[in-house]
Amino acid sequence: MNLKTFLLNHFSLPIIKGEISFCFYIEKKARLGKDHVIHSKACELLPDRSGRIKLGEFENFEKILLAGKKEFKHVRLCSFCCKQ
């Protein structure tokens, strides 16, 4: 399943000209001192503005992880909002 299909199935999103406008963020603080978790904008576990870094908008999970790895060495997708 690609990300667009996944998001359409799981969230009601703002769709502009047929494209999803959806943003991802990474937590500044590592969970259990290891992984920095990446969340979608709609996630209930998303930290507030001071505790996150904006990664931008992406079409697939690999690109999100690559963007996260530019910020931190150990990153993973949130299991709540980014189930694959």
Q: Which residues bind Zn ion (CB under 5 A)?
A: 39, 43, 45, 78, 80-81
Minimum CB separation from Zn ion for residue 17, in Å? 26
- C-alpha distances in angstroms, 69 versus 20, 29, 50, 56, 65? 23, 14, 19, 13, 6
Minimum CB separation from Zn ion for residue 82, in Å? 6
Minimum CB separation from Zn ion for residue 5, in Å? 18
Nearer to Zn ion, 15 or 45 (CB): 45
